[in-house]
Chains A and B, each alone.
Chain A
Amino acid sequence: MIINPNNPTGANYSPAFLEELLELARQHNLIVFADEIYDKILYDGEQHTSIAAMADDLLCVTFNGLSKSYRVAGFRAGWMIISGTKHRAADFIEGLEMLASMRLCANVPAQHAIQTALGGYQSINDLVLPTGRLGKQRDLAVSLLNDIPGVSCVTPRSALYLFPRLDPNIYPIEDDEAFALDLLRQEKVLVVQGTAFNWPQPDHFRIVFLPNVDDLTESIQRIGSYLERLRK
């Protein structure tokens, strides 16, 4: 199972890396599940490769939808694509069809959004430019976070998130849920602790960089004030 582009890290995997994963999948006869919901939210001219395009010799199930790229998360419009060695998977596909039938169908009004979205003008391409709202907010948030002592944040190449690390020598956090709760109560900023993403160490947190420049600046300043008190 891979999430590419990745949530929460913002990585966009290279074809060479995907090939390594596929080699492993072939050795062990694995099914590949690929969550590609952020495949159009790419910065700095990044290109996305669907792993299913590199693996017609394996069963691949690719997931995508309109929520993020077309800003209609509330519509709940998504899809699942079965590709590759489908002939081996007739029984599994029958199971999928059974479950799809049991919920009768997906919400019909939202399905009407799909054809227009995929075929029409791709306004997301403007938002991710360095001058676009997402591009600007990403750059600002990364730079503000990296200015806080003991915080290091890699510039994400895709998606909507930052996953900064807190240096454990400076911030000896043992329970990062308690950290998130304390930050919330003191600074009224809601973040998600890294262990919520099954990250094994309590030394990361995730934020979205969706707020406008003013709110983003304000919220990262508040995170900075909280961390300053934590350092003392």
Chain B
Amino acid sequence: MSADQSLILKSEKLKGVCYDIRGPVMREANRMEEDGHRIIKLNIGNPAPFGFGAPDEILQDVIHNLADSTGYCHSKGLFPARKAVMHYCQEKGIDGVTIDDIILGNGVSELIVMAMQALVNNGDEILIPAPDYPLWTAAVRLSGGTRCTTCAMSSRTGNRPWMTSAPRSTTAPVRW
């Protein structure tokens, strides 16, 4: 008996999910690099490869605590780190934030996906201005929601106006 040769497909939940910052153009760039071409990569906001080093003090703290970091911690994160974020909220004038209201994650990206998964039901709409950082739209779609286009920010200044030629949902607030 031979094994089933039918194709193995990705989840239909990924239909409409799009993150082109690391899309086909970047794949071509990677292929060209493998062929020995030197590509100047202006595509991702990744400071380190351009010689923007992290502050020494930060690296020293991580190194100093490395041996004590081998176990899991609280699912929302280490207490001192969350406390520091809480103080940051006070600096920014965000009132009433307690340690419990702060969740640490593996970068903002993980938390965006987590927040959308926790909130969005199939068919829910999230208002996302255009242009956007596309992870937001991708996370909304992955969660079964719809990106509700859109409050256009002017491409020139990033501010207003309130209208766009982009398609918009019929249920979106009129002024958005």
User: Chain A interface (Cβ within 8 Å of chain B)?
Assistant: 1-3, 6-11, 13, 17, 24, 27-28, 30-31, 33, 35, 37, 39, 50, 52-53, 56, 60-68, 70-84, 86, 92, 95-101, 103-121, 123, 127, 133, 152, 154, 156, 159-161, 163, 165, 177, 180-181, 184-185, 188-201, 204, 206-208, 210-212, 215, 218-219, 222
* Chain A proximity of B93: nearest CB distance (Å): 4
CA distance A180 to B28 in the complex (A): 11
Q: How many A-B residue pairs have CB under 8 A?
A: 355
26 inter-chain pairs at a CB distance below 8 angstroms, sorted by A residue, are A2-B129, A7-B133, A35-B112, A60-B94, A72-B58, A75-B62, A80-B103, A80-B111, A80-B115, A82-B97, A86-B96, A92-B118, A95-B118, A110-B106, A112-B62, A112-B69, A114-B104, A117-B58, A119-B87, A165-B156, A177-B23, A184-B32, A188-B39, A190-B41, A196-B18, A219-B42
- Evaluate contact between A99 and B117: CB separation under 8 angstroms: yes
- Evaluate contact between A79 and B103: CB separation under 8 angstroms: yes
Give the contact-size bracket for chain B.
Answer: 35 or more
Report B56-86 CB contacts with A as 1/0, cut-off 8 Å. 0110011011100111111111101111110
Our pick among B62, B70, B76, B156 for the contact of A100 (Cβ within 8 Å) is: B76
- Evaluate contact between B131 and A76: CB separation under 8 angstroms: no
Q: Given contacts A65-B107, A80-B115, are A184 and B39 in contact (CB under 8 A)?
A: yes
Q: Which A residue sits closest to B150, measured CB to CB?
A: A198
- Evaluate contact between B101 and A53: CB separation under 8 angstroms: no
